[in-house]
Chains A and B, each alone.
Chain A
Amino acid sequence: MAGLVQRNPRFSKLNDDDVRYFEGILGAKNVVQDEDKLVAANIDWMHKYKGSSRLLLQPKTTEQVSQILKYCDSRSLAVVPQGGNTGLVGGSVPVFDEVIVSLSSMNKIISFDKVSGILVCEAGCILENIISFLDNEGFIMPLDLGAKGSCQIGGNVSTNAGGLRLVRYGSLHGNVLGVEAVLANGTVLDMLKTLRKDNTGYDLKHLFIGSEGSLGIVTKVSILTPPKLSSVNVAFLACKDYSSCQKLLQEAKRKLGEILSAFEFLDGQSMNLVLNHLEGARNPLPTLHDYYVLIETTGSDESSDKQKLEAFLLGSMENELISDGVLAQDINQASSFWHLREGISEALMRAGAVYKYDLSIPVEQMYNLVEEMRSRLGNTANVIGYGHLGDSNLHLNISTPQYDDKILSQIEPFVYEWTSKHRGSISAEHGVGLMKANEIFYSKSGETVQLMASIKNLLDPNHILNPYKVLPRSLIS
């Protein structure tokens, strides 16, 4: 990937004085030059994007982040902010020799208000740790995703991560109430409000939700968390065709209404992959099918929720929208159903090379793309489709034994053109990163991208923050 991009010569190269300066701010222990430790921070978890940074900084406070950025800005040292490094578009690793600023040491929960459910914490908190903290308090995160064990809330906010519960709780633009961010010149923006309503001027926190660290580094966040409801049910269902999955979604929205908390789908190819490559995966149904849907409900009354869900499922069976299905009888069974859906990414990794596309496409047309891609690639690749059907979000994945430019040229730009033609988005929830920076025009008008570049110029005039990413390289150099 980096082969297509040139290092921007305006950036300085790191020298010993720089390292000494950082040691002065952070202490020698938090200035990492050790080769082995740098290897992990230089490469993304898919092993697709690899940088060659020689320095990893681990600040513990916002003040330290501010000092780091102020210095880097004055020295024209490029910076890549890094959280759990679980991104899928090459946004969280250096492209060349950018200084890595890891937020991992800023992992404290600052406050939690049990009345309002508002949590304030530092950016480096691991999502799963926040989830278990809240669980003890009787609350949940409005955000849950497969990478929860490693990903950090700062990264989630910076990339506007979507995930499994978006259909119920909405996006982070709604759930994040406040942000503290550090600009490239070291200015600390305190927008760490804990108010649900605040119409005073421009709501600038939104600039830092989803801008992938290109406008500033998010150091603290405040989030509105919903109370944990006691009754959770999970059903794993089989459908005979894609159109049944769609109709089932429409029905579920009407009949399950307020208790519907997830509606996920995977095709037969995804299921095969999981069963073959994921440890502990087991088909919950007696036979294999072409399409599967996972439905989760969350509510406050065990018996009425279950009754509602059972009535819906049995009715859908009679209408032949569902051809078979299982309903989890305990939490363990529910997790094993989720494991099948959440484990697809991991199974893909084990199966070899993978080209990942995360697209928003109107539900009716969504699966046509998978089928067209399948016929384009024939036997050369395993094309699988899964995703958040409830949010019109398709994860199109193409699995091959190894990365191959010939296959890539069959996929791109076809996949982007197709998506653009159907008025979809080439990045539903993964972000743009390095992977799609030049492709942003497929989803955004020229005028819009131009304004984005102006905002970038205003907040980061020297372009030191997460360079080569998010915006097309023709506009930012």
Chain B
Amino acid sequence: MTMKIMVAIKRVVDYAVKIRVNPDKTGVVTQNVKMSMNPFCEIALEEALRIRESGSASEVVAVTIGPSHSVDTLRTGLAMGADRGIHVDYSASLYPLSVAKILTKLVQIENPGLLILGKQAIDDDCNQTGQMIAGLLNWPQGTFASKVVLDKEKQVATVDREVADGIETVCLNLPAVITTDLRLNQPRYATLPNIMKAKSKPIKKFTPEELNVEIKSDLEIVQVTEPPKRKAGVVVSSVDELIDKLKHEANVI
């Protein structure tokens, strides 16, 4: 069997960077800020690599959409072990529906048996793209996956989903869309031999026009603001004072 897995990866402000809102409140500061692969995308890629290493798939294709710097993130994906990359070059803002349409087109070109994505990107926290693609392709979806088991013979993926009150297990007929949650796996590091190999792996380039996707949005960002600053705590002198404050100031009891 020669199943192909496609993985979508996104370049975002590094998870460990302290986010600052820009002065005109239209977004966050990204200049001179460390950018890295979205952690959920790393998990998605790791899962694809493990499936390939188990023999259930033959190729992992990493896809990213964004400005030219996104190629750096794609190279990280190739250094982790993806076989080849696709870069859809686009510099302006993108919203989940446009991303979903682009990825849908790429799925139609590449015909993967499985599309794995992070459940959300840590920059916009939309958590929509995977679901939209499943809708556009009319594929089954296993979202918030914490465990994925592939049955090669039956062409079925069994996915444990992290839902509010526990684990829900679903079976999906392939081809399918899976979005990954935090506990699915622990991604590997990029080793030097693999970084070296990644330099010669092919990256195919597209533009949205070439894929016949018109990018428009019915969303407008009105304002971006920082969450309210946490107020400093106070030391209370007695249990009575604590109860009084909880009742009358915090209004929680």
Contact = CB atoms under 8 A, between A and B. Distances in A.
Interface stretch (A92-100, A197-205, A327-335): A327-335
B192 A333 contact: no
Say whether chain A's binding surface is mostly helix, strand, loop, or mixed.
Answer: mixed
B189 A284 contact: yes
B191 A314 contact: no
A314 B196 contact: yes
Contacts of A324: 191-193
Contacts of A232: 34
Nearest to B80: A329
A330 B37 contact: yes
B16 A327 contact: no
B36 A326 contact: no
Interface in B11-33: 14-18, 32-33
Interface residues of B, number: 22
A428 interface: no
Interface in B185-206: 186, 189-193, 195-196
B24 to A, nearest CB: 21
Contacts of B37: 329-330
A286 interface: yes
A423 to B, nearest CB: 36
Interface in A320-364: 322, 324-333, 335
A313 B186 CA distance: 25
A327 B15 contact: no
Nearest to A329: B76
Contacts of A302: 34
A285 interface: yes
Nearest to B186: A282
B53 to A, nearest CB: 12
A335 B191 contact: no
Contact of B16 (A235, A237, A317, A331): A331
A371 interface: no
A135 to B, nearest CB: 8
Contacts, number: 62
B76 to A, nearest CB: 5
Interface in A360-397: none
A317 B192 contact: yes
Interface in A160-219: none
A279 to B, nearest CB: 15
Interface residues of A, number: 27
Contacts of B189: 284-285, 326-329, 333
Nearest to B195: A327
A326 B16 contact: no
A300 to B, nearest CB: 9
A230 interface: yes
Contacts of B76: 329
Interface string A223-242: 00000001010010100000
Nearest to A229: B32
B190 A326 contact: yes
A398 B32 CA distance: 44
Interface string B51-77: 000000000000000000000100010
A412 to B, nearest CB: 40
Given A330-B37, A332-B16, A230 B192 contact: no
B177 to A, nearest CB: 25
A113 interface: no
B67 to A, nearest CB: 14
A290 interface: no
A330 B191 contact: no
A137 interface: no
Contacts of A313: 192
A251 interface: no
Contact of B15 (A325, A328, A330): A330
A327 B14 contact: no
Contact of A310 (B34, B186, B191, B195): B195
B206 to A, nearest CB: 23
Contacts of A285: 189, 191
Contacts of A303: 72
Nearest to B36: A330
A285 B32 CA distance: 30
Contacts of B192: 235, 237, 313-314, 317, 322, 324-327
Contact of A331 (B17, B186, B190, B191): B17
A228 to B, nearest CB: 10
A335 B16 contact: yes
Nearest to B16: A331
B129 to A, nearest CB: 21
Interface in B139-194: 186, 189-193
A30 to B, nearest CB: 16
Given A331-B14, A332-B16, A335-B16, A326 B191 contact: yes
B44 to A, nearest CB: 15
B57 to A, nearest CB: 21
Interface of B: 14-18, 32-34, 36-37, 39, 72, 76, 79, 186, 189-193, 195-196
Ordered nearest first, which 5 A-B pairs have the shortest CB separation? A330-B36, A331-B16, A326-B189, A325-B192, A329-B76
17 contacts: A230-B32, A282-B186, A284-B189, A285-B189, A302-B34, A313-B192, A314-B192, A325-B192, A326-B192, A327-B189, A329-B79, A330-B16, A330-B36, A331-B15, A331-B17, A331-B36, A335-B16
Given A314-B195, A329-B36, A330-B36, 17 more contacts: A232-B34, A237-B192, A310-B195, A313-B192, A317-B192, A317-B196, A324-B191, A326-B191, A326-B192, A327-B190, A327-B195, A328-B189, A330-B34, A330-B37, A331-B14, A331-B15, A333-B189
